[in-house]
Structure 1
């Protein structure tokens, strides 16, 4: 019997594009992947995004380079969003139980374990961006080319959005690799071959290639990866223990002018790089939660990294060298090394609640607006919106673990008090002299603007040790 050709002589009505613009009739008439095969591959993509989220989050804290910390935070968030989208799509394809926590293949698990355990920044960048991201991108494009564009339109939409951001991630990664890792490519070649061998053993990212069946010896992941909770900073952070300036005391002093307060708020924003360092520890060291927990917490982590970059941009826009401000890691270091993950979350939520009254984020926005610096108003407007969202995330995932809102706040207050009880000890250990860096930074901003520094502002000298009283006052109001 001859093969039917139903499209012969078919013309669209009045020349209208057919099939809602998804594809041509010829493309839709070609058989594609079965539902079973679609689900199998989508589960692999889901696993890859989930492991990349895990890797990037876990490596934020101990990565010294600021630009990498913020990029890892961003890319981890994007991966979390695509995990969420894939979970939704797979759940639509008659697949109960979903099995989304299963490992698709032991060699694929080993592949990502090796990347997680990469001992250097160069190897981490190389393996994440030139190998894992690149291979995932290729596999997803192959899927788009093989599945039926009409019958599997929802999956194609999910992957097309993912590929837009995967392309962005990949471009950034190649630039970072070129900047930091290119000189060590020859040294990384044996390990790069091991990663390729693991992918071959797994049948590729999507599992469509012949599996080699080879027995492969792990290298870096021969011993299970151990998360490093100690924050690291690059050489631009010259005195990360410094608590010589009490930003909160300056900001809430009615005698200080709004324009100078705006500069101090930029310091507060840039200082927020310690929040992703700490939140990465909560996410990494809190297993067994529903996926929504990790997605929402990673969104907050990314927002905090974005706030730090907002501070960076603000300094640059004002002609100020931000490295002259002493951006500390005291908070993330102390919480990560002295508190449990639950206590860290409690401190995070307790501080967030102090930002919600009128004397919190609304006040910062009003100061920014009154400063006469349009960029400052924009930065604080969005910072305020983000913090409201973060408070809601805390109410969704932290507060329900207690009998009441008061109990949850008391727990966070107690954990914060434990940390603050010996806050000044770093000076006694000779780690810093708590230098007052504010006059130099303020004078730099005034010089860039061509104005004379205000003597009262220039003379500000109050240490950070009054922070607890400031926070308690703000929360009470």
Structure 2
């Protein structure tokens, strides 16, 4: 190619700059390595927040807060997965297995609130807003042109957290009042705010040791897992007084959807598993987040169907003893029991429910129960995938079959004495 004689090369504007190292006055950006380090820290932090939020599903007393919290856990897990995928695109292999100094300690400290009110307020008023600010700073440090894929991911994570923070601004429990006033949780919020002020994704020391909570500032008894809670307007009962099988269609239908409302206990046990299995791969926690959210959705479905039939949540007895029974098992036994025993053996009963609803022309109940069966198929498959891996990770020599039979024996004990001794049948 021959340039016209009138063409000046390079253009005068280009010649006016020092070609090597020239950059716009407003331009600044971090290196790829620095960005990867910060994204790795962000992913590790997201994972810890998913774990601690899952643990607090049991300790938060408000039903409607539990429903939202489950959605947030799943949204946060999926957002973390998006960050991980971007890290893999940047050729940062194995980051899901890395321990980032200070991140697990921060997650533990933030989880050690004295009660559910304090945890909720600090989580949504302090922790998430502070992290939103960190993501905004990351965007300012990162090149918007060549690192646009990272910007897309970070904006998505930020939008997820902004939606959650906005929800809590307007939140008031629907079924009961707050158990503690704002001034009664102010000390915990203030301490968490001081901690979060020192946390930075681009700091060499992510969570300085001198900023960490002292044992006296943390709850001595981890309330998230230790005690399952319900709204004070709910009536707790080990024995509902209901028959195991209804005599009429209306009674049978009521029992089906009443039992669905009690799936909140199932979700809370999954949250406990998610928190306790820090050694397991990230993919397991991602699957558990989905499983947990599904079970809360099933409980909400039970509440909604009973409401459609004229029965409110506060009119029915709530059970928590099954959660307590499962806490006496190891996380591995608990997961095996729940997926390969309880869910795997429920299909015959659930399909009978579908036939019952179909024969009576109950389209709503039919649809709800059919969706439930599809979800349970997914959950049972998770058991087949992850129980063998749990056995290997926790160095248990039993076969999947042997562990399943052991868990089947545990649930048989509970059924034999159901329900009075359900919380006391298994001791560590």
- TM-score bin (small chain): 0.7 to 0.9
In 2, Cα distance between the equivalents of 1:417 and 1:300?
A: 24
Flag the 1:261–1:399 CA change in 2: closer, same or farther, 3 A: farther
Greater Cα shift, 370-379 or 56-65: 370-379
Write the deviation string for residues 188-224 of structure 1: whole angstroms up to 9, x where unpaired.
444433323323333x355499999966663523869
In 1, Cα distance between the equivalents of 2:96 and 2:383?
A: 28
Structure 2 partner of 1:354: 345
Task: Kindly state the Cα deviation for residue 300 of structure 1 after the two structures are TM-superposed.
Answer: 0.9
Structure 2 partner of 1:391: 380
Determine if contact 2:117/2:180 at 8 Å carries over to the other structure: no
RMSD in angstroms over aligned alpha carbons? 3.5
Task: Kindly state the Cα deviation for residue 354 of structure 1 after the two structures are TM-superposed.
Answer: 1.1
In 1, Cα distance between the equivalents of 2:361 and 2:276?
A: 43
In 2, Cα distance between the equivalents of 1:340 and 1:32?
A: 47
Structure 2 partner of 1:364: 353
Structure 1 partner of 2:418: 423
Structure 2 partner of 1:149: 144
Greater Cα shift, 221-230 or 37-46: 221-230
Structure 1 partner of 2:16: 2
Structure 2 partner of 1:201: 198
Structure 2 partner of 1:238: 235
Flag the 1:167–1:211 CA change in 2: closer, same or farther, 3 A: closer
Determine if contact 1:123/1:181 at 8 Å carries over to the other structure: no
Q: 5 Å matches for 1:176-187?
A: 176=171, 184-187=181-184
Flag the 1:110–1:212 CA change in 2: closer, same or farther, 3 A: closer
Task: Kindly state the Cα deviation for residue 274 of structure 1 after the two structures are TM-superposed.
Answer: 1.2
TM-score (norm 1): 0.72
Determine if contact 2:61/2:116 at 8 Å carries over to the other structure: no
Q: 5 Å matches for 1:130-145?
A: 130-145=125-140
Task: Kindly state the Cα deviation for residue 145 of structure 1 after the two structures are TM-superposed.
Answer: 4.4
2:333 is equivalent to residue 343 of structure 1: yes
* SS of corresponding position for 2:365: helix
Determine if contact 2:109/2:212 at 8 Å carries over to the other structure: no
Flag the 1:263–1:232 CA change in 2: closer, same or farther, 3 A: same
In 1, Cα distance between the equivalents of 2:209 and 2:284?
A: 37
In 2, Cα distance between the equivalents of 1:260 and 1:381?
A: 19
Task: Kindly state the Cα deviation for residue 110 of structure 1 after the two structures are TM-superposed.
Answer: 5.2
Q: 5 Å matches for 1:60-71?
A: 60-71=57-68
In 1, Cα distance between the equivalents of 2:208 and 2:311?
A: 57
Task: Kindly state the Cα deviation for residue 233 of structure 1 after the two structures are TM-superposed.
Answer: 2.3
Structure 2 partner of 1:381: 370
Flag the 1:220–1:72 CA change in 2: closer, same or farther, 3 A: farther
Flag the 1:178–1:270 CA change in 2: closer, same or farther, 3 A: closer
In structure 2, which of residues 85, 88, 98 is the aligned counterpart of residue 88 of structure 1?
Answer: 85
Determine if contact 1:352/1:390 at 8 Å carries over to the other structure: yes
In 2, Cα distance between the equivalents of 1:70 and 1:342?
A: 25
Determine if contact 1:352/1:391 at 8 Å carries over to the other structure: yes
Q: Which runs of 5+ in 1 are unaligned?
A: 6-25, 430-477
Task: Kindly state the Cα deviation for residue 97 of structure 1 after the two structures are TM-superposed.
Answer: 5.2
Q: Which runs of 5+ in 2 are unaligned?
A: 1-14, 392-396
In structure 1, which of residues 66, 72, 76 is the aligned counterpart of residue 73 of structure 2?
Answer: 76
In 1, Cα distance between the equivalents of 2:146 and 2:314?
A: 55
Determine if contact 2:54/2:73 at 8 Å carries over to the other structure: yes
